[in-house]
Amino acid sequence: MASTDLVDLRRDLHRHPEPAWREFYTTARVVDELEKRDLDARYVGREVLGGDRVGVPDDAELDAWRERARAAGARTDVLDRLDGGYTGAVAVVERGEGPTVGLRVDIDALPIEEAAGDGHHPAAAGFRSENAGYMHACGHDAHTAIGIGVLDAVLDSDFAGTLKVFFQPGEERIVGGEPMANSGHLDDVDYLFAVHVGLDHPSGEVVAGIDGFLAVSQFEAEFRGASAHAGARPETGDNAMQAAAAAIGNLYGIPGHSEGATRINVGVIEGGTATNIVPERVAIEGEVRGETTALMEYMNDEARRILDSAAGMHGCEVAVGTLGHAPSARSDPELRGVVADVADGTDGVTSLLESDRLGGSEDATFLMRHVQERGGKAAYVGVGTDHPGGHHTPTFDVDEDTIGLGIDVLAGAIAETAARRP
């Protein structure tokens, strides 16, 4: 079972859910916790993100969230270091000779309005989201708490080697993984673990190494035509609404692929100004996925052609941009074996799966691939938790006992990895 402190931390984070690049309160809260501990190094903001970022909101949006974090009690000195929406942190523990082991946890939340009824535990227990329209509906609050807890466990052990815990922003938008992978902090990592709670596994069940990550690429497309008075001069318009509708209808019609699963979704749309004006602008956001990165690229190529053609069909232009993206990746069997062995001997683990397929996407894959490409190994560990509502729904919640179990399994696996060097 997790300490009361970690449950409190999780609930505090749960009350302050923040989306990608706006994890101001969350990062400040993490830094608070790190400073309480005897770490060898702490990095935050620009220090933990390399290369370009996508999906960064405009300054007004960033300022609003930062002010909200300040009002909620976040430390001003930390907030200053997150200027520009450079959120996230890395904690380092160096304990003599040994391999460098990483643990990645994600810290961001979702644009979902949390359930308010008494049947929803966070509401009944008084830690429902205070940020209207946003919610920790995927358990990243628990992940963050596990990250802190693992630091404690390792600090309290005879671990030999270096531990780095990556508090990654922007997983839900698939925008944080690549910059963090490119930060340099992963370059010397020999073994990397990532962790996710739930995923339809009940409390007590552990998945040693998850596979089946779909490669994903998110896009935004802005159709631009020419407005016109819809009653008096309809023929002079170039209708961005028709272009968008043609695009959507046909995007979903990209044929499946014989080599594996593919997906497409248009998740957001917005455009037009008035009923009597032929719309000159409609913007959509969507994503393509594939069981492999190649399959995702196939979908992407098809989608681009359809977007272009739909625009041209209605005399419009379309500007297409890439938002978040992530490759596929695999858990290494050796590291998976370590986790399985540790989990097998951990109190509270009642069911153990060697492997499972995610079926979704994750930008932990950027970090996993970064390590694997340099000769290291990676495993994505699932820690089951009873969750009343599904992931990404308003009634999602976690069994808080999972936090302690996750810490035990991961700290155990980190120790064993260092000892065994699989």
Binding-site annotation, residues for Mn(2+): 138, 140, 172, 196, 392
Residue 357 CA to residue 380 CA, distance in Å, equals: 11
CB of 420 to a second copy, least distance (A): 33
Task: Pick from 63, 125, 276, 420 the residue near a second copy by CB under 8 A.
Answer: 276
Q: Dihedral of CA 290/291/293/294: which sign?
A: negative
- A 10 A CB-CB count for 250 gives 17
* CB distance 140 to 109 below 8 Å: yes
Interface residue with a second copy, options 79, 89, 112, 153 (CB under 8 A): 112
Say if residues 141 and 385 touch (Cβ distance below 8 Å). Answer: no
Contact positions with a second copy (CB under 8 A) in 359-398: 359-361, 390-393
Q: Give the residue, chosen from 178, 287, 363, 400, that forms a contact with a second copy under the rule CB under 8 A.
A: 287
- Which residues ranging from 38 to 97 are in contact with a second copy (CB under 8 A)? none
Q: Minimum CB separation from a second copy for residue 391, in Å?
A: 7
Applying CB under 8 A, which of residues 93, 181, 244, 415 lies at the interface with a second copy?
244
Question: Under the criterion CB under 8 A, does residue 132 sit at the interface with a second copy?
Answer: no
Minimum CB distance to a second copy smaller for 11 or for 289: 289
Alpha-carbon distance values, 410 to 122, 206, 329, 336 (Å): 26, 11, 20, 12
Binding residue for a second copy, selected from 305, 374, 420, 421, defined by CB under 8 A? 305
Integer Cα distance of 279 and 311 in angstroms: 13
Return the residue of 154, 186, 310, 411 that touches a second copy, per CB under 8 A: 310
Query: Least distance in Å: CB of 109 to a second copy?
Result: 12
Residues numbered 327-366 forming contacts with a second copy, rule: CB under 8 A: 358-361
Tell me the HSE value of 358 on the side-chain side, using a 13 A CA sphere.
Answer: 31
Burial 279-315, CB ≥16 within 10 A → b, else e: bbbbbbbbbbbbbbbebbebbbebbeebbeebbeebe
Binding segment for a second copy (CB under 8 A), chosen from 31-39, 67-75, 161-169, 234-242, is: 234-242
CA–CA dist 193, 103 (Å, integer): 5
Residue 194 within binding range of a second copy, rule CB under 8 A: no
Question: Cα–Cα distance between 354 and 384 in angstroms, integer?
Answer: 13
Among 141, 285, 363, 397, binds a second copy (CB under 8 A): 285
> According to CB under 8 A, which one of 118, 156, 235, 373 is a site residue for a second copy?
235
Start-to-end CA span in the chain (Å): 28
Would you say 162 or 239 has its CB closer to a second copy?
Answer: 239
245 binds a second copy (CB under 8 A): yes
Q: Which residue has the tokens 């006992």?
A: 401
The reply to whether 255 sits near a second copy by the rule CB under 8 A is yes
Task: Supply the minimum distance, in Å, between the C-beta of residue 235 and a second copy.
Answer: 4
263 belongs to the binding site for a second copy (CB under 8 A) = yes
Closest to a second copy by CB, 162 vs 355, is 355
Smallest distance, Å, CB 302 to a second copy? 8
Query: Are residues 114 and 123 in contact, defined by beta-carbon separation less than 8 angstroms?
Result: yes
360: which residues sit within 8 A by CB, 6+ positions away?
213, 214
State the minimum distance, in angstroms, from the CB of residue 227 to a second copy. 8
Please give the residues from 210 up to 229 whose contact with a second copy meets the rule CB under 8 A. Answer: 214, 216, 218-219, 227, 229
In the bound state with a second copy, the residue whose beta carbon lies nearer, of 115 and 241, is 241
Rounded to an integer, what distance in angstroms lies between the CA atom of residue 275 and that of residue 146? 51
d(CA 399, CA 397): 7
CB of 396 to a second copy, least distance (A): 12
Binding-site residues: 138, 140, 172, 196, 392
Tell me the C-alpha distance between 204 and 422, whole Å.
Answer: 25
Contact between 239 and a second copy per CB under 8 A: yes
- Name the minimum Å distance from CB 419 to a second copy: 35
Based on the shown chain and the rule CB under 8 A, indicate whether residue 293 belongs to the binding site for a second copy: no
**Binding of residue 248 to a second copy (CB under 8 A):** yes
Angle at 137 between CA 58 and CA 30, to 5 degrees: 65
